[in-house]
Structure 1
Amino acid sequence: MNFNYRPFTVLKHKEFIIRNVSTKERILNAAEHLFCDFGFDNTSLRAITSEADVNLASVNYHFGSKKQLIQEVLARYLSVLMPALDQKLIAMRESGEATSTETLFGALVEPLLSLEKVRPNGTRVFVQLFARAYYESQGHLRRYITSHFAAELKHLNKALHLAVPHLSPSEVFWRWHFALGSCVFTMISSKALSEIAEAEYQQHMVIEDLIRKVITYIAAGFSAPLTTEV
């Protein structure tokens, strides 16, 4: 998958980054912008300080290291997404009703859409950053997420297994990552896909429409019966 393009540039001009925000926010906004465009590995602290119009000492003061800066960029979204999703999971569990995969994945819709309030194009930006974290093997982010959102991840993992009792833990692992891959591709390519749908099929798609479509698809695949192993 090629991420070397700019489908979701968050901030077009430096003045939008530096206007009416704190030094820490300027650094976070600049880092997010550059991480989306160039990735974590290919973005230097020098590039971030130049974009944010701050000195390196400011980055060290507020974040300590590039890894911690990356974590805080993602944390702006995760701190909204994970508690919101957890509330949905708790409500489903307390209802006492059996949970289908479509209901389970459907619980992601509102939490994902709530990211639009975090930053402009927040849902797409978060998914792109999340995809880069996998693509570029940012192991420290995995450790950060599992340590800071352990309870939420435990609830999600339990809900996934309860929704598909016919699947082994290893099969759930693979299907979960296939589902993530489908969602990531759809979100990252959403602008192009929406333009094609409008031109070819006269369908006007907004971000919520795309999320619901891909969730219907991955829910069916996630719960599909096992085929003959190869």
Structure 2
Amino acid sequence: MAQKETAQRILDAAEALFSEKGFAETSLRNITTKAGVNLAAVNYHFGSKKSLIQAIFARYLTPFSEQFSDQLDIIELRKNTPDQLLKLLVITLNKSGLENPEKFGVFMRLLGLAYSQGQGHLRKFLTSEYGEVFSRYMKEINRVTPELTPMERFWRIHFMLGAAVFTMSSVDSLMAMAEHDLGTETDVKGVISQLMPFLATGLMANV
């Protein structure tokens, strides 16, 4: 088996198990069994369980952050609104391949687990690898919300993140529910188009 294929199988197995069972509940033995490899292969390609978790996030966030940086180069030259800044995320998702419902749902479940299961190493990794581009984005958020105090802005951003993680981590189920209850089919873009105005209104509530 080619080395690249082996690493891919390990990543695929770990991603599926982490999103289903959680980081703490998934052992390296679980991962090697599902991937059909031995522990030496995991150690060779990733070195540790923490590094494996980081590699899973990197394969989503590296293409996303590259596209995000390109989009920020454009918007930093103009006057923006909160709604436009949120739409920027949608544009970036569409350009980086995360518009696939299954893929997007898995990533959002992993993101939610990163917050709920205390993966301190992961937060350090994300800050180190992607902190610059997201700091640029937060600078724009700060610029369009001067009426908010730092505390208000902090909580609203995290409430927005919580709503987004909940919605998009269960996007398949929500689309099925919408079809059953409303008799209309939708897709990820349709769900996001409903979510974005809600988030923008929450960010600017009573301002």
Matched, 1:92 2:75: yes
Matched, 1:71 2:54: yes
Matched, 1:202 2:183: yes
Matched, 1:156 2:162: no
Equivalent residue, structure 2, for 1:43? 26
Contact 2:28–2:49 (Cα < 8 Å) also in 1: yes
Per the normalisation by structure 1, the TM-score is 0.84
Unaligned runs of 5+ in 2: none
SS at match of 1:225: coil
SS at match of 1:149: helix
Point out 4+ residue stretches in structure 1 off by more than 3 angstroms: 18-21, 113-120
**Structure 2: distance between partners of 1:154 and 1:174:** 17
SS at match of 1:29: helix
Unaligned runs of 5+ in 1: 1-17
Which of 25, 35, 45 is equivalent to 1:62?
Answer: 45
1:142 CA drift (Å) = 0.5
Identity across aligned pairs (percent)? 39
Per the normalisation by structure 2, the TM-score is 0.93
1:168 CA drift (Å) = 1.2
Give CA-to-partner distance per residue, 1:108-147, whole Å, 9 cap, x none: 1122234546988222211111111111111111100101
**Structure 1: distance between partners of 2:166 and 2:98:** 22
Equivalent residue, structure 1, for 2:109? 128
Q: How many residue pairs were aligned?
A: 207
Larger RCO, structures 1/2 (Cα 8 Å, 6+ apart): 2
Matched, 1:141 2:125: no
Contact 2:107–2:169 (Cα < 8 Å) also in 1: no
Shift of the 203–120 alpha-carbon distance from structure 1 to 2, 3 Å rule, reads closer
Amino acid at match of 1:187: M
Shift of the 118–53 alpha-carbon distance from structure 1 to 2, 3 Å rule, reads farther
